[in-house]
Structure 1
Amino acid sequence: MGSWLVSLLSDWKDRFTPYKDWIGELKSPTVLKADAMAGLTVALVLIPQSMAYAQLAGLPPYIGLYASFLPVMVAAIFGSSRQLGTGPVAVVSLMSAAAMQPYAAMGPETMIAYSAMLAVMIGIFQMSLGLLRLGVLVDFLSHPVVVGFTNAGALIIATSQLPKIFGLDVKADQFEHAYEFWWATLAALTDTKMTTLMIGAFALTTLMVLKKYAPRLPGVLITVVITTVLSWAVDYKGMGGSVIGTIPEGLPTFSMPNVSLDFKTLSSMMVTAAIIGLIGFVEAISIAKAMASQTRQRLSANQELVGQGLSNIVSGFSSGYAVSGSFSRSAVNFASGAMTGFSSVVTGLLVALTLLFLTPLLYHLPQATLAAVIIMAVVNLIKVAPIKHAWKVEPHDGVVAVVTFIATLAFAPHLDKGILLGVVLSLGLFLYRTMSPNLVEVARHEDGSMRDAAAHGLKTSDTVAVYRFDGDLYFANTGYLEGKLLNNVAQKPNLKVLILDMESIDQVDSTGEEMLEKLADRLKFAGIEFYIARTKLRVYEAFQRSGLAKHIGEERFFRERKYAINYAKEQFGDSIDVEPFKHYIPA
């Protein structure tokens, strides 16, 4: 325990200095220039995106800029990925908005404060996982769950922006369920403001055209500039159009979010923070792994949790909201030649300059343009192919993805319920599969290997049986194994030796160990010798500690099946038939 604690404390020290791996490279003018250009390119995308995502989170646009200043730099300095672009993202923004819905009636200031507090809680959760080396907990969010949720989330996000495109006075937070909002949007289409629709359609068309024919250009920035100038020139606001309006100048203040939390609210927000923290990190680590595979740079999930956690804490303390790694901006950062985390430092500094000097230029930016930016950003997240692929690989995974998708849509805006249902279902189906793993009787195949006798039509022995169990032996499947073996024994009245091949068993719990002990006693009572072959070292050592090895007899444990068969032949001579294990004999 003491050595583990010392190791953990030493690990903590390294967790807060990962930037040492790349900071020395900035002495190279080539690296410095590449990072500066990449940082500038990402900033041109991040600034309009962050304002759009802040509105998606139910917050004023400038909160998105606050969340794109310090958090972006902190995540790069304390994370392990050199190219990961952190900041406001669509899915996390949507989940933050859903979590803040109970406080919407209290006014925008309360929403801002609670959103900041949620970010702090997410950050504490993520950083704690990283410091305690618990990044493996992220694996509880299986790929089918993430795929199903992401598709549903993207659909919810895209449809939530339609009122802004059509100029409708319909807001998602006015309704308890998403389907009620969708119906209200359809019913209100007769009230469409043509001026707003024209701006929104123009912005969407411009974004699509630039993405298809000029993907290297900053399409989001170009669209924002064109529509802002157009809005100013035609007095779009005077025509009844909705614009961003006044954005406070200056940098955010650094202070604790001013909220009062009772136990019920605190516990609810803690659960929400954990779910958002896991979903956000899955998104971040996925893109980080993709880039690390190409750059062959070291990537640590626990270190990335520390970086993402600190960035969320800083975001909350600087009047921002929950952030995560962004697929689109990370791809831009990578494609622009970023070589170290300094590129994100440049991005954060450029956002700071925008807050200090350029916010008046954003006054006439149409809300419809930001809605178009969000729609274009999330439309690529809607992918049916991964669900089909999951179904082909394992139908249970396909069921999990589809159920998570449907549940997320049904429970929206309470997105956490859809995720929890998906996690519970995936764990339940996994448990169901492992409750009845494969148990086969094997014999010698014509290629010389020992194969499933029933599947390959091989002759077996009536006096010696070798069974292979494919799976771990634990409380949920011990009864299955015991019942299966005893039923097979009942079909072989002349059986004298039963050999259990345990090569595929990596671990055995106390329930499994007790079952093997009882099985050995029952077989002994029936006059049948019980041998165990190819036991893993860790499993055999557990049997030695528990006394099972002594109870069965250590001489009855064999490194190979052939040794067990030879031993049986020595003990029983010609009274047993071992030919099906030595030569290929068709059934």
Structure 2
Amino acid sequence: MHRLFPFLQWVPELRRREIWRSDVVAGVTVAAVIIPQSMAYARLAGLPAVYGLYAAFIPPVVAALWGSSRHLATGPVAMASLISATTVGTLAAADGDSYMAYSILLALMVGVIRLLMGVLRLGNLVNFLSAPVVIGFANAAAIVIATSQLSNVLGVRAESGQYHYQTVINVVGAAVAGIHSPSLGIAALAAAILVGLRRRYGKILVAVAVTTLCSWALGFDGEVVGDIPRGLPSIRLPRIDFDIVPQLLTGAMVLTLIGLMEAMSIAKTIATKSKQHIDVNQELIGQGMANLVGSLFQGYAVSGSFSRSAINYDTGAATGFSSVVCSLVVMATLLFLTPLLYHLPQATLAVIIILAVLSLIRVKPLLVAWRVSRADGATAVVTFVVTLAFAPQLHIGIFTGVLLSIGQYLFRTMRPHVAYLARHPDGPLVDADAHGLALDQRIAIIRFDGRLYFGASSFFEDKVLEVVSRLPDLRYIIIDAGGINRLDATGEQTLRRVVEDLRAIDVEVYFTRAKQQFVEVLERSGAIDYIGRDHFFDWNQQALEHLWDQMEPAYRARCPLNVPTPQAESGSWMI
């Protein structure tokens, strides 16, 4: 029952006065932020401001009722708005009827995809977006979002280029020819309020109120929001154009993955503080239903907002009821307050967007990725550059990063770490090459740290034959299989072939520390009998003792692999 109606877990808590009072305070506070933000993000999405309010009306309630997080604040966000704009912008002119219809259809598609992923429990697909890809994409997208607002801040109009950087160049050229000073002044005033006002939660509302009053009182001749239809959105099924659906599919998939990554990152961060369990698949269902139902109320694509979720948590929200309160405030705004927003300058909304996305520009994670792994750092940089270069076609940056990540993963699994072990003076068996130690000439111990599957089998065979060529007097090879987590059919055949080829030159192969799943594969295939059950040992030291018993007695004493301390066996697996 709780999976179908997860809100039943927290609804009984509303009987306690302190719970619902905290939720009311949090909901009203978040509403004060989402109302101006949603109008700004709607403009970023290429839609009239009222569509932002529509997207802030129903989706927060639906996401709160069917999601797993009590604090995730769903609604219009910068990233989803930009991706929506770049997806629909290639198919229709901004602000036109077709553009609005396609934006709503895109939200419906995102909702269906997320809902299906949640029902089918495919939440782990988000793992295809590695941290370096997200870092590179988020930084590039933030720059694209911020620079897309320059024309509104400067009060100029410029021709759009095929790529975003061309549009920015055109805007700069138009600004050189002449800036609209009143627009720049309004933008500066809004920025001063947003940056200088110490109060954390109400400053966006203050900036909107002050600049709207100034616009009305001074007869501001720049661009304003204008007429916003009064009343609630009508319920209607989005216009489904099956010729357009395939063209929106790529954008819908990008929105699904990026939106899920955003929502889960936010939800898990806050859940760590609130000690709440987050179910990825349930959150997918909640986010999917929010977009699906929202599209029936003329809303465009939405996701979780980090800033509003943080405000929701910090102001004391205890349950999803805070999102219900937030939506009620948005509803009241649509019913009664929209005439007051006529004189709201577009420059103010532009500044709200720019300051909101500045937090997405983070250089430190990129530097950390570079220090951790040059390959990861390169992936982040390439994703960043490609996203910037091909904007507004943002999906090219995402797909490039994903392909690079998959390529790196395959390369790493195809060439896992292999160590030739030698006895350290302190006792344990360690990587001989890493510690500058000599190998024993007659017994080699090889540790393979990875899956022995079709992609890595040839590499494994090469490494075994390499030690044979390095040690002409070699008689025994011990394969330390403790790091082999998976063995497939190709890996099993490779093991058979290696054992057979080495026996042909009088070299016997033994296995130690093999995991149960490794042994089970050999049992099912019959390879364990071919290799010999007496060739498997729990520990390296046991295998060594067995081999020394078969060799001349004097060799044990002089063997470099002999244990110099009683503690050696306990650390014999260490590198």
Please give the range of the TM-score, normalised by the shorter of the 2 chains.
over 0.9
Aligned to 2:181, which of 194, 204, 221? Answer: 194
Is the 8 Å Cα contact of residues 77 and 303 (structure 2) preserved in structure 1?
yes
The 10-residue stretch of structure 1 (339-348 or 535-544) with the greater mean CA deviation from structure 2 = 535-544
Cα distance per residue 1:164-219 (max 9 Å; x no partner): 01111136xx3210111011011100221111111111111211112xxx143411
Q: Residues 235-314 of structure 1: matches in 2 within 5 Å?
A: 235-236=219-220, 240-262=221-243, 265-314=244-293
Tell me the C-alpha RMSD between the 2 structures.
1.6
Alignment of 1:232 onto 2:216:
yes
Equivalent residue of 1:188, what SS?
A: helix
Distance 1:87 1:573 in 2: 77
- How far did 1:62 drift? 0.5
Which has the larger displacement, 385-394 or 503-512? 503-512
What pairs up with 1:119-138 in 2 under 5 angstroms? 119-138=107-126
Gaps of 5+ in 2: 566-575
Alignment partners' CA distance in 2, 1:400 and 1:575: 55
- Identify which of 106, 109, 114 aligns with 2:102: 114
Structure 1: runs of 5+ lacking an equivalent: 1-12
Whether the aligned pair in 2 keeps the contact of 1:122 and 1:312 (CA below 8 Å) is yes
The alpha-carbon deviation at position 84 of structure 1 amounts to 0.6
**Out of 341, 346, 364, which is 1:385 matched to?**
364
1:204 aligned residue (179, 191, 210): 191
The equivalent position to 2:469 in structure 1, one of 463, 468, 490, is 490
The CA distance in 1 between the partners of 2:357 and 2:303, in whole Å, is 15
Moved more, 573-582 or 416-425: 573-582
**Residues 1:167 and 2:151 aligned together:** no
Contact 1:15 1:131 in 2 (8 A): no
Deviation at 1:458, TM superposition (A): 3.0
Secondary structure, aligned partner of 1:527: coil
Q: Distance in 1 between matches of 2:204 and 2:216?
A: 18
Q: Which amino acid aligns with 1:197?
A: L
Residue 314 of structure 1 aligns to which amino acid in structure 2?
V
SS in 2 for 1:86: strand
Partner of 1:182 in structure 2?
168
Q: Which moved more, 1:277-286 or 1:464-473?
A: 464-473
8 Å CA contact 1:39, 1:344 repeated in 2: yes
Kindly indicate whether residue 205 of structure 2 is the aligned counterpart of residue 221 of structure 1: yes
Could you tell me how far apart the structure 2 residues matched to 1:42 and 1:105 are? Answer: 32
Counterpart-to-counterpart distance in 2, 1:202 and 1:176: 33
Alpha carbons 1:411, 1:418 under 8 Å: kept:
yes
Matched residue of 2:448: which SS?
Answer: strand
Deviation at residue 111 of structure 1 after TM alignment: 1.1
The secondary structure found in structure 2 opposite 1:252 is: coil
- State yes or no: 1:563 paired with 2:550: no
Q: 1:583 aligns with which of 550, 555, 563?
A: 563
The CA deviation at 1:323 is: 0.3
The separation in 1 between residues aligned to 2:385 and 2:545, in whole angstroms, is: 57
Match of 2:70 among 73, 82, 100: 82
1:385-428 deviation digits (Å, cap 9, x = unpaired)? 10000000111110010000000001100000110001101111
SS of residue in 2 equivalent to 1:103: coil
**For 2:368 and 2:534, how far apart are their aligned partners in 1?**
48
Q: CA deviation at 1:266?
A: 2.3
Of 279-288 and 558-567, more deviation after overlay is shown by: 558-567
Is the 1:463–1:496 Cα contact (8 Å) retained in structure 2?
yes
1:157 pairs with one of 123, 145, 148 = 145
User: How far 1:526 moved relative to its partner?
Assistant: 1.2
Write the deviation string for residues 229-263 of structure 1: whole angstroms up to 9, x where unpaired. Answer: 11111121xxx21111111111112221113222x
Contact in 2 for aligned 1:85/1:344 (Cα 8 Å): yes
Q: Which residue of 2 aligns with 1:449?
A: 428
Structure 2 Cα separation of the partners of residues 564 and 392 of structure 1 = 40
Q: CA deviation at 1:448?
A: 2.5
Asked if the contact 1:463–1:576 (Cα under 8 Å) also holds between the matched residues in 2, the reply is no
**Partner letter of residue 362 of structure 1?**
L
* Distance in 2 between residues matched to 1:67 and 1:557, nearest whole Å: 63
Distance 1:520 1:163 in 2: 70
1:541 matched to 2:520? The reply is yes
Aligned partners of 2:2 and 2:8 also within 8 Å: no
| Aligned position for 1:332 | 311
Cα gap change, 1:216/1:183 in structure 2, threshold over 3 Å: closer, same or farther? Answer: closer
Shift of 1:267: 2.4
Measure how far apart 1:273 and its partner are.
0.8
- C-alpha deviation, 1:268, in angstroms: 2.8
Partner of 1:140: 128
Query: Is structure 2 residue 75 aligned with structure 1 residue 94?
Result: no
Which aligned pairs between 1:465-476 and structure 2 lie closer than 5 A? 465-476=444-455
Give the aligned length: 563
SS in 2 for 1:498: strand
